[in-house]
Amino acid sequence: MRGYRPVPYDLRCRLDSPSRARDFFAREYAHFHPTVRSLFSAIDTGSFVFVDTITMIRLPRVIAGRVALLGDAAACPTFLSGMRSSFAMLSAESLAAHLTSGKPIAAALADDNVDVLARAAGVQQSAQRMQKIVLGQSRLDTTVCDSVLAAAPVGWLLGHAKKFYGSQANAA
């Protein structure tokens, strides 16, 4: 779209006050639905505005000695993957299975480390795919995505969501 500027990666320093956040949101999201714009315009000097960055960290290992990281700590999947709670339960189940396998603890933990890192990579890849859909790369991308979602039949959306999250759960 004409005049579109990609938003800098780290906005925290630019949105350090409610009034600066309100002005930024009003400018950058002026094309959004009137309800959304009214929410942004309601930000006043007494409002609390939280801004953070979305970051994924790829760990070289999730087991060190007898300490194992589980869930978010092991995969850092971000909200974009939709797998935070599921991954936590699956990684705990995996650890339990490895520890009860009859192998020595060190070997069981080493096996779990390999499995969890492979699952974490899949969940992070899912988050990266979803980032393009959820956050968009441009106003045009966002508008097209929002229009398709708004026009899509609910049954079709639910079917695709079940397929997507089912495949992610199976992969995890």
- pLDDT one-digit tens code per residue, 123-155: 888 888 777 777 766 777 777 877 887 788 888
For residue 68, pLDDT beyond 50? yes
Same domain? 117 vs 154: yes
Q: Is residue 5 part of a domain?
A: yes
Same domain? 71 vs 49: no
148 beta partners: none
Report how far residue 165's alpha carbon sits from residue 82's, in angstroms, rounded to the nearest whole number.
Answer: 8
| Enclosing domain of residue 87 | 63-171
**Sequence-separated (6 or more) residues with CB below 8 Å from residue 70:** 88, 91, 92, 95
Q: Is residue 58 part of a domain?
A: no
Same domain? 26 vs 69: no
Same domain? 96 vs 44: no
Same domain? 69 vs 151: yes
**Sequence-separated (6 or more) residues with CB below 8 Å from residue 19:** 43, 45
Same domain? 45 vs 69: no
- pLDDT one-digit tens code per residue, 72-90: 788 877 777 777 788 888 8
> What's the structural domain count of the chain?
2
Same domain? 91 vs 143: yes
Q: Considering the entire predicted model, what is its pTM?
A: 0.62
Q: Is residue 98 part of a domain?
A: yes
How far, CA to CA in Å, does 111 sit from each of 66, 75, 78, 92, 105?
13, 16, 25, 14, 10
